[in-house]
Structure 1
């Protein structure tokens, strides 16, 4: 259950980082690819923008973590989880640099 809570917390953190920045007209509501595409389109951010690509990468990594079996919490899972944490820090810095 801890892995589930960590994934949910990471998703919330990403949304809070983006929406708490105050830089965007429309808030990001989810980390699905469609939600990110809608958000970027409505905020007039190119899909090739580093911020959009970072959000999609975080989304893909969280999706991978969500599909790992509870029995298979391996070193790969831990490494990917750490990667997500690093991506969240990068996201925070990216938005701070836009102010």
Structure 2
């Protein structure tokens, strides 16, 4: 199993170009997409022929990409509600938790 980075993954029409990799060998749920640098990171269960757009990367690089992706995502409904409750508690109730 390899951790792969594919650069220039998004075409102008929005479709993905995996540069000949078999998408059925991508481990489901492992994909991390970075629209800022037009790349994708994922676990790949197959042979990887590295090229200018396909690289095998380290766990550290993959983890960094996942963290950046997570930071770019909007808060979930649950996270937003929790933040709102905390804000209300601080401003109206002097920090007392809402019941």
Tell whether the structures are fold-level matches, with TM greater than 0.5: no
Question: Normalized per residue, which structure has more helix?
Answer: 1
TM-score, with length taken from structure 1:
0.29
Which structure shows the bigger proportion of residues in strand conformation?
2
The alignment's TM-score, normalised by the length of structure 2, stands at: 0.29
Q: Which has the larger radius of gyration?
A: 2
